[in-house]
Homo-oligomer: A and B are copies of this chain.
Amino acid sequence: MGRRNLGDEANGRATLASSIYEQIRDEIVTGALAPGEKLRIEQLKQRYDLGTSPIREALNRLSMEKLVVQFDQRGFVVAPVSQEDLHELTDARCSLYGILIPRSLEQGDTQWEENIVICLHRLNRAQWLVGDPARLNPAARMAHRDFHRSIIAAAGSPPLVDFMDTLFDFSERYRLLAQQNREAPHRPTSNEHAEMADAAINRRTNDVLELCQTHVRRTAALVDRLFEEQGLPGSNYR
């Protein structure tokens, strides 16, 4: 609580605004910041030992991403969650898979195949390194996302592929929120990923589509059930 700048992580030299953006984003996605929670500027300033500007810039970015809701003159709030929203999200992802998977398998070349293999390997390693793949370890979460992206990467439609990435993070948020209060976190069977990779590389379009959509829908159903049992997180904010 007295250091300064640091910056330059993956990037050459990040601004404080970019660093804090990443951090807050991560805390929202992992549920460290609860849905509906008020984000008071003064509080955040103290918590992260920063001035107003970088924090407000970060929150402005997050509000465009819909991870934060901004009310003019009344500040910022962590985006709420709802079962309806989860459903719409799931639905959108499945629809987009319907477009992107056939295209990607059709256009994918050798490099695309090899990238899938690498991403699968990294995902498995990451899972091996720490107990739970996606919950605690940020690197593992990234590996998970990279793997899913690698499948559709050859679809050649950056707008849609990027959008899928966004939706992935949103789903991830729901997953992590749901299992937050749980002992045994839901662990994606590595088997399932291996099957996806295999089916993709061997151009079994229908199988890949089926696997991905099922994967997405099953996880969503699980989350939905947990919410049903435990109630929605963040219902305790005004």
In the assembled complex, the Cα of A88 lies from the Cα of B157 at a distance in Å of 6
* A92 interface residue (CB < 8 Å to B): yes
- B167–A88 CB distance below 8 A: no
Q: Which of A12-20, A128-136, A138-146 contacts B (4 or more CB under 8 A)?
A: A12-20
For window 211-234 of A, CB contacts with B under 8 Å fall at none
Cross-chain contact of A64 among B56, B64, B159 (Cβ < 8 A) = B64
Specify how many copies of this chain sit in the oligomer. Answer: 2
Dominant SS among interface residues on chain A: helix
**Smallest beta-carbon distance A153→chain B, Å:** 14
* A57 interface residue (CB < 8 Å to B): yes
Q: Which single residue of chain B is at the shortest CB-CB distance from A167?
A: B159
* A179 interface residue (CB < 8 Å to B): no
In the assembled complex, the Cα of A129 lies from the Cα of B72 at a distance in Å of 33
Write out, one digit per residue, whether chain A residues 61-72 have a CB within 8 A of any chain B CB (1) or not (0): 101110000001
Show the binding face of A for B, using Cβ within 8 Å: 11-15, 17-18, 52-53, 56-57, 60-61, 63-65, 72-73, 88-89, 91-92, 95-96, 98-99, 156-160, 163, 167
